[in-house]
Amino acid sequence: MKAIVVTDQTAGTTGMTLTDHRKPEAAGNDVLVEIHASGFTPGELSWSSTWTDRLGRDRTPSVPGHELAGVVTALGYGTTGLAVGQRVFGLTDWTRDGTLAQYAAVEARNLAPLPGDIDFTVGASLPISGLTAWQGLFEHGRLQPGQSVLVHGAAGGVGSMAAQLARDAGAYVIGTGRTTDRHTALDFGAMEFVDLGHDSPDDIGTVDLVFDTIGGDIGKRSAKLVRAGGTLVSIAGPPEARLTDALAIDFVVVSDRAQLTELAQRVRDGRLRTRIGKVATLDDAVAALNPTERVRGKTIIRVRP
């Protein structure tokens, strides 16, 4: 099958090559998916899981990309819950070959049915940012209707999903970002915007939840914005801030069929949008993932036209 592979950890996205790669087989509890659309996150090339398996053994050449939307073509031994011919989407295992390929073998529990009225391109853009936003807000942040949330990086992939989901859940949403992010952040659900280059977040008072997608100094400065009993959730590494009366949590997103289904339902209802910046074919994927000009929004590789 055709796939993008990486072999050189130091090369970044420029080390991606389109090649002929062995077609995967569905192991126990897996499904084999014919991929229609794939999502890739540049950060994954710095994760050890891209280069080694769970026992630390070299697994190159490895196929990057961990978001997919496609159609099930085979079931592994013992696989239940999905059927051959079913449209699916979801997040694949970090330590196995991924989705910049014509096929991927995935544990069935990591996928959910993709309703017929959601395009594969949209389906592949949802899993990482949607699940991360959902888990940060509702699992780790325990956000309740009527509470306030400060979303750092509210114009970004995760932040724009978090702003929409939080607002839809009845929270008061304050977004932050760069001056140029104001319009996008407000368009994607933030009710107020704090320009981190010019405004001081200290002026907004305290909130029930800070959702930090930026980290570093911005994360550190967020500690005093969390009210007593509130939570600071970070997806940009462990919070360096010390909180006395509040929780500080960092986490890595996991796939979850029920949450994927909730996200898909919101897309169908028009309550959730993803920000897709560029769509390219698998043949053009290496160039698309090494853009010469900045792409705002996610790049999706349309593996099958």
Q: Among residue numbers 251 through 290, which ones bind ligand NAP (CB under 6 A)?
A: 252-253
297's tokens: 């929004």
| Residue nearer to ligand NAP on the CB measure, 203 or 245 | 203
Least distance in angstroms from the C-beta of 283 to ligand NAP: 25
**Contact present, 115 and 140 (Cβ < 8 Å):** no
Write down the least CB distance from residue 117 to ligand NAP, Å. Answer: 26
Q: Segment contacting ligand NAP (CB under 6 A): 93-101, 153-161, 199-207, 265-273?
A: 153-161
Token output for 195: 């320009």
- Site stretch for ligand NAP (CB under 6 A), options 20-28, 116-124, 149-157, 239-247: 149-157
For the bound state, the minimum distance from the C-beta of residue 151 to ligand NAP, rounded and expressed in Å, comes to 10
Contact flags string 167-206 toward ligand NAP, x per CB under 6 A: ----------xx--x--------------x----------
Closer Cβ to ligand NAP, 47 or 172, answer by number: 47
- Closest-CA residue to 170 (of 149, 184, 193, 139): 149
DSSP per position, 95-150: TS--SSBSEEEEEGGGEEE--TTS-HHHHHHSHHHHHHHHIIIIIIS---TT-EEE
Q: Which of 33, 72, 128, 264 binds ligand NAP (CB under 6 A)?
A: 128
Task: Confirm or reject binding of residue 214 to ligand NAP (CB under 6 A).
Answer: yes
Q: Does 239 bind ligand NAP (CB under 6 A)?
A: no
Q: Phi then psi for 178, rounded to 5 degrees?
A: -85, 165
Which of 123, 156, 189, 230 is close enough to bind ligand NAP by CB under 6 A? 156
Tokens of 220: 């550190």
Q: What is the largest CA-CA distance in the chain?
A: 58
b vs e for 138-147, b when ≥16 Cβ sit within 10 Å of the residue's Cβ?
bbbbebeeeb
According to CB under 6 A, which residues from 23 to 62 bind ligand NAP? 43
Six token digits for residue 240: 């360096």
Nearer to ligand NAP (CB atom), residue 70 or residue 153: 153
Looking at the Cβ atoms of 128 and 225, the one nearer to ligand NAP is 128
Task: In whole angstroms, give the CA distance from residue 39 to residue 189.
Answer: 23
Q: Which of 27, 236, 247, 249 touches ligand NAP by CB under 6 A?
A: 236
Which residues in 193-219 are b (16+ Cβ under 10 Å) and which e? Answer: bbbbeeeebeeeeebbbbbbbbbeebb
Shortest reach from residue 39's CB to ligand NAP, in Å: 10
Q: Are 4 and 84 in contact (CB under 8 A)?
A: no
| Residue ranges in contact with ligand NAP by CB under 6 A | 43, 128-129, 132, 153, 155-159, 177-178, 181, 196, 213-214, 218, 235-236, 252-253
